Chains A and B, each alone.
Chain A
């Protein structure tokens, strides 16, 4: 690296953070765009249709299996008329799409998406309260939808907004309770003594609620992944993520058959696209959380090259690619489920959240506590 760049970065540490933020944004945005394409192609495959397979490189005949589709979608959103209905509450109507999209992106700030690249830890903010921060930000995501429903000042969006606020609050509780056992295991100071010196140096100064620490806990072997140690917690967390991102089978805030399009009925052009992008960014953030908490983060149980913090650039990049690959698996799962399962009824949704998941996750906490107490 040229000397003046090194000097600049040591004098202004915030530049490194800014570069990381830009890097994450530059990866997440195309992922959002291509998960939309994946959604459309997979839904077409499941319903025995062709799907969007035409758009390739503009002005040529190269089709690339329809991989140019995001370009066409984006152009279409920008060129359509940005119509504001006369009866809306304007300030909230303008605010809502932004408010619904930002929280999903802020979540990426604490997610460890790789080990090391050069001297830098591949996480934007290595917070000691990482998991609480994530839940806090996720819980802010509901405002965008509620405000969209309220500001539209018409019946269907309003119903969508009401449904979404009740649904997201209910499932936040189950989601929060389901990860408690994860941290009962991973926040035990004892296991840290058994780590290699590389890991110890990597975790230097981090607290026990830190997300990198959870990754370290799972790095040992395949069966130290928390998906195998805490299957009940994983199951509840997975389904809560579906509910939190308003995906089918829990997409009641926008259920097309009853509410036209729910909370975003009155939106058009790029504002509608912002809601859409927010939903997919939330899916990616949720998948990233599942990978970090339950599926070993950026580690793979194939020896030291994959499960210790990287020494070189190539190894660091491979770790990031492993992380993105694991996210892609979960994205595929979420898309697949959407086109395979019918929608729940609203009372069923509430019953599952409050009468099944909450007691089961509480029981899981007590069970884990008993096992830990017996083992100690």
Chain B
């Protein structure tokens, strides 16, 4: 049962991710955004299969529910026109493959680095929100410092966005 569901969600995620960038039927930005939403939802389904319910819910809440709605909002507000079908440029194709290859390399090495610990992970602990919170926020061996640094980074980005969007500063 779980493997069937995994296959469904995985195929859906990859297929709709492909359709975001290379959709043969439509080049409308709204269609791309909608396929990105299906990708997000399929990924959240994969999280559920991994017993990571918190991540699954947050994935839908933040990405599918908020970020993508903002994307759609901006696309509709700026009235981005359907871009004309362009010829594939060889340079951009090569650059794209290099970027994907590099990302895959990083991913592969990080998976290999953590692979030995996988069997030690307790299934129940992974799923629970409390365990996640303890891992993030506990003072001794948690990720509290990186968490706070990321928060400050986001705050700075937010202030920067407000600053840039103001026409003149008073």
Expressed in whole angstroms, the Cα–Cα distance for A161 and B60 within the complex equals: 21
Interface range on chain B (Cβ under 8 Å from partner): 20 to 34
Q: How far is the CA of A7 from the CA of B10 in the complex (A)?
A: 35
Given contacts A139-B64, A150-B30, contact A132 B54 (CB under 8 A): yes
Question: In the bound complex, do residue B73 and residue A166 qualify as a contact, i.e. CB atoms below 8 Å apart?
Answer: yes
- Contact check, B64 vs A136: say whether CB atoms are below 8 A apart: yes
Establish whether residues B61 and A143, one from each chain, have CB atoms under 8 Å apart when the complex forms: no
A49-91 interface bits toward B, Cβ cutoff 8 Å, 1 = contact, 0 = none? 0000000000000000000000000000000000000000000
Residues in A with CB closer than 8 Å to B60 are: 133, 136-137, 139-140
CB distance from B47 to the nearest CB of A (A): 11
Asked if B50 is at the interface (CB within 8 A of a chain A CB), the reply is no
Q: Which residues 151-187 in A have Cβ within 8 Å of B in the complex?
A: 158, 161-162, 165-166, 168-169, 172
List the A side residues contacting B65 at CB < 8 Å. 135-136, 138-140, 142, 172
Q: Which of chain B's residues have a CB closer than 8 A to the CB of A169? A: 66, 69-70, 73
Contact call B77/A132, Cβ cutoff below 8 A: no
Chain A residues with Cβ under 8 A from B34's Cβ?
Answer: 147
Q: B76 to A172, Cβ gap below 8 A?
A: no
Q: Cβ of B136 < 8 Å from any Cβ of A?
A: no
CB distance from A286 to the nearest CB of B (A): 16
CB-CB under 8 A for A128 and B72, given A139-B66, A140-B60: no
Contact A150 B76 (CB under 8 A): yes
A184-209, CB < 8 A from B: 207-209
Determine the main DSSP class of A at the interface with B: helix
- Within A96-148, the residues touching B (CB, 8 Å) are 127-129, 132-133, 135-140, 142-143, 146-147
Which of B69, B128, B130 has its CB near the most chain A CB atoms (within 10 A)? B69
Most central of A92, A127, A135, A147 by chain B CB within 10 Å? A135
Give the residue of B64, B69, B70, B130 whose beta carbon is less than 8 angstroms from that of A207.
B130
**Residues in B whose Cβ lies below 8 Å from that of A135:** 57, 61, 65
Residues of A within 8 A of B129 (CB): 128-129, 207-209
Q: How many A-B residue pairs have CB under 8 A?
A: 74
* Distance in angstroms between the alpha carbons of A143 and B72 in the assembled complex: 9
Rounded to whole angstroms, the CA-CA distance of A137 and B73 in the bound complex is 19
Knowing A146-B76, A162-B77, A207-B130 touch, does A129 contact B57 (C-beta < 8 A)? yes
Residues on A with C-beta less than 8 A from B69 are 139, 142-143, 146, 165, 168-169
A127 to B127, CA, bound (A): 11
A129, A132, A140, A147 pick with most chain B CB within 10 angstroms: A129
Give the contacts of B57-83 with A (CB-CB under 8 A). 57-58, 60-61, 64-66, 69-70, 72-73, 76-77
Instruction: Indicate if the CB atoms of A172 and B72 lie closer than 8 Å.
Output: no
Residue B19 at the chain A interface, CB threshold 8 Å = no
A128 & B128 in contact (Cβ 8 Å cutoff): yes
The answer to whether A129 touches B37, judged by C-beta atoms less than 8 angstroms apart, is no
Chain B residues within 8 Å of A172, by CB: 65-66
Contact A132 B76 (CB under 8 A): no
Q: Is B6 an interface residue (CB 8 A)?
A: no
Closest residue to A14 on the B side, CB-wise? B1
User: B73: nearest residue on chain A (CB-CB)?
Assistant: A165
Q: Does B53 contact A (CB under 8 A)?
A: yes
- Chain A residues 265-320 with CB under 8 Å of chain B are none
Residues of B near A129 (CB, < 8 A) are 53-54, 56-57, 129
A141 to chain B, nearest CB (A): 9
B17 to chain A, nearest CB (A): 18
In the bound complex, how far is the Cα of B65 from the Cα of A67, in angstroms? 38
- A139-B60, A139-B64 are known contacts. Are A161 and B70 too (CB-CB below 8 A)? no
Apart from A128-B128, A132-B54, what 7 extra A-B contacts exist at CB < 8 Å? A128-B127, A132-B58, A140-B64, A140-B65, A142-B69, A162-B73, A169-B70
Q: Which 7 A-B pairs have the closest CB atoms?
A: A139-B65, A136-B60, A132-B57, A136-B61, A129-B57, A165-B73, A129-B53
B-binding residues in A (CB < 8 A): 92, 127-129, 132-133, 135-140, 142-143, 146-147, 149-150, 158, 161-162, 165-166, 168-169, 172, 207-209
23 contacts between A and B (CB under 8 A): A127-B53, A128-B53, A129-B129, A132-B57, A132-B58, A132-B61, A133-B60, A135-B57, A136-B60, A136-B64, A139-B65, A139-B66, A140-B65, A142-B69, A146-B72, A146-B73, A162-B73, A162-B77, A165-B72, A165-B76, A172-B66, A208-B129, A209-B129
